[in-house]
Structure 1
Amino acid sequence: MQSIFNESAYNEIKSRIDKLDENSKANWGKMDVGKMVWHCQGPFNIMLQKNDYGLKPNWLAKVFFKKSLYNDKTWSKGLPTAKFLKTKDKKDFNTEIIKLKALIDETYSHKEKEEWKPHPGFGYFTAQQWGQMQYKHLDHHFRQFGV
């Protein structure tokens, strides 16, 4: 699995994100592009300790879902979205894309960091697992929007 900490994967993500615009349409799912870009900020906010969204340790998630966050298998279409990463509010694409790009860049700037704080819901991840999880989540949603 690619990692956001790998230079080629980082550059790929940056190239793909630049192909999105406010008129991009989803190939599946209910989110419009503004909501998707807002949604993609959540895992970065958790990783960078900007927001824990009130998450608590969840042993069921650790046992049954954690490994799927960073393994090599792509996520299927239509997976359920965690409540804290959903919004009914309209999100301005141009505002949200600037925020997401900044979070991606900030995360990549920490590519040499060895130890990260545990995820509030899933617990400990290695630096490699954090990087793979971020790449996998973005890849899933970029495929959703055809980029």
Structure 2
Amino acid sequence: MKSLFEKEAYDELLERLEKITPDSERLWGKMSPAQMAWHCQFPLKIAVENKDRGVSGNPLVRLLFKKTLYNDKLWRKNLPTAPGLKATEEKDFDEEMPKLKQLVTACYEARERDQWHPHPLFGKLTPEQWGKMEYKHLDHHLRQFGV
């Protein structure tokens, strides 16, 4: 499984993000490219800034979903989104995409950090699990737009 903390995977993600445009067509789901860029910022903020963003809660979700965060199996299309991470209104692509790229870089640069706060939903994660989880989430949404 790739990890955002690997240079090759980091470079790949940035290249793929460059291929998304405001007019990119989604292959599934409801989000526009701008909404996806906004949505994808929050898992990165949790890692980089230790921000909760409305993902705490349901222990059943924690139990059933945690292992899928860092294994090789792709997530299925149209997975439900945590209420606090749903893009309910249109976003500005030219504002959101640079923020997303900056957070991808900030998360990559944090790869050798000694202290990682527990995830608000999934609890304690190793740095290896954090890197794989962040890669997998971004990959899922990039695949959503065919890149």
Q: Output the TM-score relative to the length of structure 1.
A: 0.94
The alpha-carbon deviation at position 145 of structure 1 amounts to 0.2
Determine if contact 2:53/2:84 at 8 Å carries over to the other structure: yes
What's the CA shift for 1:51?
A: 2.5
Shift of 1:62: 2.5
Q: Which residue is equivalent to 2:137? A: 137
Alignment-mate amino acid for residue 63 of structure 1: L
SS at structure 1 position matched to 2:49: coil
Q: CA RMSD in A?
A: 1.3
Q: Does structure 2 retain, via aligned residues, the 8 Å contact 1:58–1:122?
A: no
For these two proteins, the number of residue pairs brought into alignment is 147
Partner of 1:60: 60
Runs of 4+ in 1 over 3 A off after TM superposition: 54-58
**8 Å contact from structure 2 (residues 44, 104) kept in 1:** yes
Q: Which amino acid aligns with 1:103?
A: L
CA distance change for structure 1 residues 28 and 9 in 2, over 3 Å: closer, same or farther?
same
CA-to-aligned-CA distance 1:22-53 (integer Å, 9 cap, x gap): 11110111111110110000101111225212
Hey, what's the Cα distance between the residues in 1 that align with 2:77 and 2:62? 22
Q: Share of identical aligned residues, percent?
A: 50
Under a length normalisation based on structure 2, what TM-score does the superposition of the two structures give?
0.94
**Could you tell me whether the CA contact under 8 Å between 2:54 and 2:85 is conserved in 1?**
no
Which whole-Å deviations, capped at 9, do the CAs of 1:95-119 have from their partners, x for residues lacking one? 0001000000111111212431000
For residues 100-145 of structure 1, the C-alpha deviation after alignment (integer angstroms, 9 at most, x for no partner) is 0000011111121243100011101000100000000010000000
Gaps of 5+ in 2: none
Q: In the alignment, what sits opposite 1:93?
A: 93
| Structure 1: segments with no counterpart, 5+ residues | none
Shift of residue 54, structure 1, vs aligned partner: 4.3
Distance in structure 1 (CA, Å) of the matches to 2:103 and 2:91: 17
Tell me whether 26-35 or 78-87 shows the greater mean CA deviation.
78-87
